Amino acid sequence: MRGDVTPRGAGKPAARSLVQRVDDASALHEAGAAKFASAAVQAIDARSVFRVALAGGSTPKGVYARLAEDVRWRSQVQWGKIQFFWGDERHVGPDHPDSNYRMACEVMLDRLPIDPAHVWRMKGEYEDAARAADEYERDLRSVFGLSDGQFPRFDLILLGMGADGHTASLFPGTDALRERRRLAVANHVEKLATDRLTLTVPVFNNGIDVLFLVQGPDKAEALKAVLEGPYDPERLPAQLIQPASGHLTWLVDSAAARLLSKDSRKAQSPGP
Ligand code: 6PG
């Protein structure tokens, strides 16, 4: 895995961020699992707990499967000391095929010695998505011991990116893009004709380690626009993710990275 670029063109000084390019999906799953395991070991060594916000969608599935199946990660990580959260959830119940919670349980959580009391899912089954968001915000405040105005500081936040430049359930042109006070909100997504549940930009940007997992040729246009195009977060919400003091890593395979400019392959010092 070669260290690559600090994203250019995003119009804002990028925090310490890197584009790490790997050959293909399998290499991305391997690198993602290694990153998860190393972040977990580091956090647990330092603070006896590792708090992670999982991503939904299909890309992370291969990473979660590696973590559950590969003896290196199974043995290296103290799974009982991990607290699991989600970056977003669909407006569905936990048994629904579209549920991000169900996916993570089937592929990873049900296959590892985790403590079920350390799993906080968003209650997508509630008729009123705003109620689910309010409840999740209360969960976060209680687990992280937050007072008003404070944001949770996840050890690791996993994110995917859609071919339209959305991330989590921060979709282009939606209200949640502008939320800077709340920790979790319901977000109506007109183009999907549905509500979604999502953590907010300030929560993502308070992460210690934020890791995008982007794989496949269908993401190439959006990745180029997000990393090298003008700063236009209403259209490309992934550009909003600029951790204030954390590390931002774009873990991308060659197919997704094929349109990136050649100098995006040179490691650069962090932005100004
Ligand atoms: C979701 C995710 C969403 C996802 C992207 C990429 O709930 O679907 O939070 O933001 O990460 O849509 O999805 P793929 O990994 O399936 O391409």
Take atom 3 of ligand 1 and give the residue whose Cα is closest: 168
Segment 116-139 mean pLDDT: 98
Measured distance CA(39)–CA(42) in Å, rounded: 5
Q: Which of 166, 115, 163 is nearest to 143 (CA)?
A: 115
CB 243 within 8 A of CB 12: no
Distance 74 CA to ligand 1 centre (A): 25
Looking at 61-65, 180-184, 226-230, 264-268, which range is the least confident one?
264-268
CA–CA gap between residue 156 and residue 43 (Å, rounded): 9
> 54 lies in a domain?
yes
Is position 255 within any domain? yes
- The model's confidence at residue 272, banded by pLDDT at 50, 70 and 90, is very low
**Phi, psi for 13 (deg, rounded to 5):** -60, 120
Residue 28 falls within a domain, yes or no?
yes
Please tell me the distance from the alpha carbon of residue 91 to that of residue 225, in angstroms, as a whole number: 29
pLDDT of residue 16: 67
Between 213 and 1, name the one with better pLDDT. Answer: 213
Q: Is pLDDT at 73 greater than 90 in this prediction?
A: yes
Is 270 part of any domain?
no
Is 180 part of a structural domain of the chain?
yes
Give backbone dihedrals phi and psi of 173, rounded to 5 degrees, phi first.
70, 10
Q: What is the mean pLDDT of residues 118-144?
A: 98
pLDDT score, position 264: 60
| 58 CA → ligand 1 middle, Å | 7
Question: Is residue 86's pLDDT more than 80?
Answer: yes
pLDDT of residue 138 exceeding 80: yes
Q: CA–CA separation, 22 vs 133, rounded Å? A: 35
- Please report whether residue 271 resides in a domain: no
Q: Are 172 and 236 in contact (CB under 8 A)?
A: yes
Contact assessment for residue 237 and residue 8, using Cβ atoms and an 8 Å cutoff: no
- How is the beta sheet containing 194-199 ordered, strand by strand? 88-90, 194-199, 184-189
The CA angle 154-30-95, to the nearest 5 degrees, is: 60
Mean pLDDT of 31-60: 98
Number of domains in the chain: 1
* Encoded tokens for 53: 């916000």
Task: Find the residues whose C-beta lies inside 6 A of ligand 1.
Answer: 55-59, 88, 100, 160-162, 166-169
Domain that holds residue 240: 12-265
What's the half-sphere exposure (Cβ side, CA atoms, 13 Å) at 148? 0
pLDDT at 268: 34
CA distance 170 to 202: 12
- Does residue 4 fall inside a structural domain? no
pLDDT per position as a tens digit, 191-217: 999 999 999 999 999 999 999 999 999
- Residue of 161, 187, 218 best suited for mutating to test ligand 1, as the one with most atoms within 8 Å of CB: 161
- pTM, rounded to two decimals: 0.93
pLDDT digits (tens, 9 = 90+) for 242-257: 999 999 999 999 999 9
Best mutation site among 54, 86, 88 for ligand 1 pocket (most ligand atoms within 8 Å of CB): 88
HEC string of 35-80 equals HHHHHHHHHHHHHCCEEEEECCCCHHHHHHHHHHHCHHHHHHCCHH
CATH code at position 150:
3.40.50.1360
Share of the chain above pLDDT 90, in %: 89
Amino acid at 113: P
Residue 58 domain-assigned (yes or no): yes
Give the angle subtended at the CA of 212 by the CAs of 237 and 126, to the nearest 5°.
Answer: 65
